[in-house]
Structure formats: structure tokens, C-alpha cells
């Protein structure tokens, strides 16, 4: 009997996902909002942004 192939535990990053991530980085959208919109964890968003050289996790200063 053939072994059953394991499925991925995560969603693959599509070109549309990467484009959206870059847009959110430029717009300085908080990571918590990005993770809810993309249905991924905050850690995943931060790791992918770091690997692409994008800045994420912008901190807004209170006046």
C-alpha cells in the first residue's frame, strides 16, 4: 500500500499575497490588521516581510 503524502501545514505565498504584503508595508498597516486580513499569524507575516527585506510592525507614537 502506498504511503499517504503529508499536506502542508501552511498556505503557500502567492504573487497576490506578496504584492499585498508589500502594499501594507508601504502603507504602514499594523501587523495585527494584516494578519487578520490575510488569515495568517503575525509571526508568519513578520518572518516573510523580514525575508523580503520589508519593514513591518510599525509603531505609532502617541502625541
Q: What's the length of the chain?
A: 63
The predicted-structure confidence for 7-57, as pLDDT tens digits, reads as follows 777 789 999 999 999 999 999 999 999 999 999 999 999 999 999 999 987
User: With bands split at pLDDT 50, 70 and 90, how would you rate the model's confidence at 63?
Assistant: low
Give the pLDDT confidence score for residue 58 in this predicted structure: 66
Kindly list the domain boundaries of the chain, sorted by start residue.
Answer: 15-52
- Give the C-alpha separation, 63 to 40, whole Å: 31
Does the structure show a pLDDT above 70 at 61?
A: no
User: With bands split at pLDDT 50, 70 and 90, how would you rate the model's confidence at 4?
Assistant: confident
- Give the C-alpha separation, 19 to 6, whole Å: 28
Give the pLDDT confidence score for residue 18 in this predicted structure: 97
Amino acid at each position: 500500500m502506498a504511503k499517504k503524502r503529508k499536506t502542508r501545514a501552511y498556505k503557500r505565498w502567492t504573487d497576490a499575497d506578496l504584492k499585498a504584503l508589500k502594499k501594507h508595508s508601504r502603507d504602514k498597516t499594523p501587523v495585527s490588521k494584516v494578519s487578520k486580513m490575510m488569515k495568517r499569524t503575525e509571526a508568519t507575516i513578520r518572518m516573510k516581510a523580514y525575508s523580503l527585506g520589508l519593514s513591518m510592525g510599525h509603531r505609532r507614537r502617541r502625541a
